[in-house]
Structure 1
């Protein structure tokens, strides 16, 4: 007698190829609207499903997990970051959590370099000038930015993405510096000619560009707070393609408005789409709508990881990308 298929609830629209394969393998409840589930819908999902497939727009907190039915045994997150999931409470309830590490490394690193160039070379200002029809020809002194070759890049978080950023920045001639919980492997450090800073404060004071590439955890919340931002040079630039709450957005906005920082490139925001309106007004800021992982290849690879985690679990084994509290 064939084994009953797992009941899987997906909280957002996924690439069609991923949804199709998931429907072939499992009993799947897919979304028709590309909008986050309401709290009530999430409650219903955790009560009825064997597996929940959420994204970063879903708050899977202790209160929600407490309402889960006996069936829910796996939260297979579509994405690498799991700061929106209470992993500890899930573990206490006997619910496994998995993620999709490594799938967005290159895409996010590419976007980080794009933002560095966009801010330092004033690309959006030039684009706006052209689209408005106000450009009247070449001028030797117009829209002068800065050369990134030779500048010091301070990477906050030297994991997969941080190292990928370092490799790309090195190719552009930037000097690589980093702050991390631990030093990277000696061979990697030598290849990148990277300087390790045990003191984040000391690194920030000396950098021309700071790239935020660390995960969102209780220990990284507002890691770049007002005090630390004030340590930076007024000619420095901040780029964040990680999580918005690592940076104190209000403090950053105040300093940019006051000319105490030269610019910022942000793909993520502290309060999601509720962006500080004063930040939107600034000419020296490039804002993107969380596009770091937005490639067809990356999003499909994320889906393939989700499928592998669920299939492995369905076969009675530990998901290869299981997340446990000690990893956070």
Structure 2
């Protein structure tokens, strides 16, 4: 009896590839596959699914977000879509916290200063930053990652304010010292933070985005930062990723990371194993995986 065929859209950790190979035949084309492991850089739409053919049973998305997948198109074709929740919660929340601390304490700015070999000596007034303690942190998105971020900032003495789906963001934005984004990318959250909402924030406030790039109008953000309407930003994701708005690159009050939210080896392996579990459920056991999206 031949093993079900699985296509992997990009490189995965060796441990994950070995686990897939132990139960499936890995094939180079989605056209030959009953299951596919997709990265968030792969757009799974009608054209992709049409090209894959009727033998495709499951798309195991190697991410918790599924904005790269047309869920309705998958539903129409009876293709199951799974994701990788829970296992990346702590790692992504840690990146949000890291961006906050790096920005407030001017760590990456100081790193650039030292690397330029600027003359300096210790001084009580040199490169002063701010503490996280006492800051009001508005966390937009009250899911797993948002709640974990709230727990972490509270441990540093900050005051977290969780804003769920029905929150009045316009009212809350003006009270926050830090705004941290943790919402999925949907039609309703695209440019959730636009020029109008940036103008509602305190000039002393900072914006953190570890969700998805298009949640923020990046051009409007650059304008706000350059004009002094906003004190700073920490970004792990970008509107046109991997392209970054050129107007952000020269700013000292911005911390930029290359989408590192879930980037620890143990997290990435755990995410991959959830993909393996979903593939086994559908292709070997004929059941719906526990981490099903549609």
TM tier relative to shorter chain: over 0.9
* In structure 1, C-alpha distance between the alignment counterparts of 2:47 and 2:14, rounded to whole Å: 32
Question: Is it true that 1:77 corresponds to 2:68 in the alignment?
Answer: no
Gaps of 5+ in 2: none
Secondary structure at the residue paired with 2:52? coil
C-alpha contact (below 8 Å) 1:46/1:65 kept by paired residues: no
Does the 8 Å CA contact 1:129/1:135 hold for their aligned counterparts?
A: no
User: What is the TM-score normalised by the length of structure 2?
Assistant: 0.97
The reply on whether 1:62 has 2:31 as its aligned counterpart is no
Deviation at 1:135, TM superposition (A): 4.3
Further displaced range: 10-19 or 57-66: 57-66
Q: Which of 277, 286, 292 does residue 316 from structure 1 map onto?
A: 286
Map of 2:7 onto structure 1: 9
- Structure 1: distance between partners of 2:64 and 2:27: 22
Deviation at 1:131, TM superposition (A): 2.1
Aligned counterpart, 1:296: 265
2:175 to 197, 200, 206: 206
Q: List per-residue Cα deviations over 1:70-102 (Å, max 9, x = no partner).
A: 211110111111000001111101111111111
- Corresponding residue of 2:78: 94
Q: Supply the distance in 1 between the matched residues of 2:122 and 2:52 (Cα, whole angstroms).
A: 63
Q: Where in structure 2 are the equivalents of 1:1-328 lying within 5 Å?
A: 2=1, 4-29=2-27, 45-181=29-165, 198-313=167-282, 314-324=284-294
Q: What is the rounded CA distance, in whole Å, between the counterparts of 2:264 and 2:258 in structure 1? A: 13
Q: Secondary structure, in 3 states, of the residue corresponding to 1:323? A: coil
Verify the 8 A CA contact 1:212 1:241 in the aligned structure 2. Answer: yes
Structure 1: which 5+ runs fail to align? 31-44, 183-197
- How many residue pairs match? The answer is 293
For 2:37 and 2:159, the matched residues in 1 are separated by 40
Deviations 1:110-165 (A, max 9, x none): 11100000111111111122223324320111111112111100000010000000
Distance 1:254 1:241 in 2: 20
TM-score where L is the length of structure 1: 0.87
* 3-state DSSP of counterpart to 1:322: coil
* Higher RCO structure (Cα 8 Å, ≥6 apart): 2
Cα RMSD for the two superposed structures: 1.1
Deviations 1:188-243 (A, max 9, x none): xxxxxxxxxx2010011110000001111111111111111110010000000110
